[in-house]
Amino acid sequence: MATELHDLTAVDQAAAIRRGELSSTELVGHYLSRVAAHGATVGAFVTVTAELARTQAAAADAAPPAGRGPLHGVPTAIKDLTLTAGVRTTFGSAAFADYVPPVDADVVRALRAAGMISLGKTTTSELGSSLYSEGLVAPPARNPWHLAYTAGGSSGGAAAAVAAGLVPVAQGSDGGGSVRIPAALCGLVGYKPSRGVISGGPLGSGAFGLPTHGPIGRTVGDVAAMLDAMAGRVPGEPFLAPPLPEGGYLATARRAAPGRLRIGRFTAPMLADEPVDPACLAAVDGAAEALAAAGHEVVEVAAPLRPEVWPLFETIWYVLALAPVPPEREESLLPLTRLMRQRGAAISAGTLSATLAELQSLVRAGLRATDHCDLLLCPTLATPQAPVGWFAETGDPDDDFDRQRRFSPYCAIFNVTGQPSVSLPVATTPDGLPVGVLLTGRYGEDERVVAAAAELERVTGGWDRHPAIWTAPASANVNNA
């Protein structure tokens, strides 16, 4: 029996609610007390919607039992980059510090329809443009395992909230690793689904298919259950959704039976000629050994793409920074954001078109070269952790951007390809900080990725480890310390 409600997994919390052993109101109250105590310590939230959450929890408790989903009544949080009607959504930027959207993102509607209760908006990087969450509208998102280190980005607040026990699962989004990077840093499971599995609507152009919403949680089962809640076809989406697995992703995780797989292992960085930290290499070795012991064939492969692809990706990333910002608010943006937008504005349509065509040719070649593998295994990051403030410490936004590339030279490639990719917290550094690895499948084969992740979780004994803040008392004095 768990000693605290937040010790339960999200799936177990929902099961307790269904059995009448726990109410959503009680659960939401428990988590709100932890947010009040520890939210500012880890920089998890920009906006907390306590009263709205209590109202929704009461409605969830009053809902008829028939039709309740696997996460009905369970708390979550929405990234501050994601439109939420009637709730301040700043996109991580002082330029939008008071913006309140009139509409919900499709994924927010889906989570609400599944009966999940949002406690508020989690910290993100400005316009989602960097892999750390240190802006002007909220405290920096800190790693609950060591508060001197970043929780990552752009879904840094989401990961900090889950790792600190402030919500059991959280919604994030991933355009270049923004779910998987924070998950790796904070010792969590972060899942980027295949392009099209989760709607990106109702606004936006699709951003060349790079970004997608995705869940962050402590276990593969929790992440799979939240993926079930988020996934679904929505009319007008620009990308065809792959078929959902029979019984859903949670059922797939519970079976944990991917069949015998050929798994291609590589450690060469794909976006930078950067030495890889021994702890990251050891994590891949450990995962490969566990997968081989489970009966899979693990083979060495060349990385699908090499650092020569970086200038192409860089061009696209600059263009993606051109989110609409009122001209009078441009000066409110951070130096890195302004630099990226200036460079993006200088890229012609012809250059962008040629860049996309060349990148797609390289992607085709890389995927054909690795198509003999059912899954790919590689590090999530080239370095396990980074201190808060490290990326921007020189004050040079060029250096900031380059440090990000060298820190994370793996994740973004799988945004370009649209493949399903999950970061799993399989290891720790010698001083006990989390280290992640990526498992990536063929496009549309999310069922196989979820099943393999669940099997790896099972054969290794699981990764539901907690930092010291997990057991810290829920006292408001913590915020004032």
Average pLDDT rounded to a whole number, residues 149-177: 98
**Whether 205 is catalytic:** no
pLDDT confidence of residue 473: 86
Rama region for 446: left / alpha / beta (φ>0; ψ in -120 to 50; rest): alpha
What is the distance, to the nearest Å, from the Cα of residue 27 to the centroid of all Cα atoms in its chain?
24
Decide: 181 and 156 in contact? Cβ < 8 Å: no
Mean pLDDT of 211-235: 97
- Do 91 and 99 touch, CB atoms closer than 8 A? yes
> Which segments of 164-246 does DSSP mark as H helices, in order?
180-186, 220-230
- Which SS3 state, helix, strand or coil, does residue 299 take? strand
Q: What is the pLDDT of residues 319-361, one digit of tens each?
A: 999 999 999 999 999 999 999 999 999 999 999 999 999 999 9
Distance (Å, whole) CA 107 – CA 51: 22
pLDDT over threshold 70, residue 2? no
Q: Looking at the whole model, is its pTM more than 0.85?
A: yes
Task: Give the pLDDT confidence of 299-308 residue by residue, as tens digits.
Answer: 999 999 999 9
Range 453-466 average pLDDT? 96
142-143 and 146-150 as β-strands: parallel, antiparallel, unpaired?
Answer: antiparallel
- DSSP-derived pairing of the beta strands 117-122 and 75-79: parallel
Residue type, 54: R
CA–CA separation, 213 vs 299, rounded Å?
31
Q: What is the mean pLDDT of residues 202-226?
A: 94
Q: What is the pLDDT of residue 434?
A: 98
Domains of the chain: residue spans and CATH:
9-480 (3.90.1300.10)
Mean pLDDT of 312-318: 95
Instruction: Classify the C-alpha dihedral 280-284-287-290 as positive or negative.
Output: negative
Tokens of 268: 């060469």
- For tokens 């990333």, the residue is 317
Q: Is residue 79 annotated as part of the catalytic site, yes or no?
A: yes
pLDDT of residue 480: 29
479: its two tokens: 């915020």
Q: Any residues with CB less than 8 A from the CB of 348 and at least 6 apart, and which?
A: none
Integer Cα distance of 18 and 85 in angstroms: 28
Looking at every residue in the chain, the average pLDDT score rounds to 96
Residue 18 and residue 61: Cα distance in Å, rounded?
10
Q: 142 near 130, Cβ under 8 Å?
A: no
User: Is pLDDT at 157 greater than 80 in this prediction?
Assistant: yes
Q: What is the pLDDT of residues 12-28, one digit of tens each?
A: 999 999 999 999 999 99
Cβ burial, residue 308 (10 Å; 0-12/13-18/19+): exposed
Kindly state the tokens that stand for 45: 């939230």
**Euclidean distance between CA atoms 415 and 279, whole angstroms:** 25
147 pLDDT band (50/70/90 cuts)?
Answer: very high
Question: Measuring CA to CA, which residue among 329, 327, 386, 320 is closest to residue 136?
Answer: 329
SS3 content of the chain, % helix, strand, coil (to 5): 40, 15, 45
DSSP character at residue 440: E
CA distance 205 to 188: 30
Rounded mean pLDDT of 154-181? 98
- Residues near 365 by Cβ (< 8 Å), separated by ≥ 6? none
Q: Is 192 a catalytic residue?
A: no
SS3 403: helix
Task: Tell me what the mean pLDDT of segment 171-188 comes to.
Answer: 98
Q: Please report how the helices 397-407 and 335-345 are oriented relative to each other, as an axis angle in degrees rounded to 10.
A: 90
Exposed (0-12), middle (13-18) or buried (19+): which is 430, by Cβ within 10 Å? exposed
pLDDT in tens, 405-428: 999 999 999 999 999 999 999 999
For residue range 262-299, what is the model confidence (pLDDT) as tens digits?
Answer: 999 999 999 999 999 999 999 999 999 999 999 999 99
Give the pLDDT confidence score for residue 476 in this predicted structure: 39
Residue 142: phi and psi, rounded to 5, are -110, 150
* The pLDDT of residue 119: 98
Place of tokens 């109702």: 202
Confidence of residue 206 (pLDDT cuts 50, 70, 90): confident
| Residue that the structure tokens 């290499």 belong to | 281
* 197-215: average pLDDT: 93
Q: List the catalytic residue out of 118, 125, 178, 194.
A: 178
Q: Residues 18-67: pLDDT tens digits?
A: 999 999 999 999 999 999 999 999 999 999 999 999 999 999 999 999 88
Catalytic residue among 154, 155, 408, 421: 154
Question: How would residue 464 be classed by pLDDT, with cut points 50, 70 and 90?
Answer: confident
CB-CB contact of 253 with 349 (8 Å)? no
Of the candidates 88, 121, 128, 119, the one whose C-alpha atom is nearest the C-alpha of residue 212 is 128
Residues forming beta bridges with residue 423, ordered by sequence position: 190, 438
What's the CA gap between 457 and 451, in Å, rounded? 10
Question: Active site residue: 24, 79, 118, 408, which one?
Answer: 79
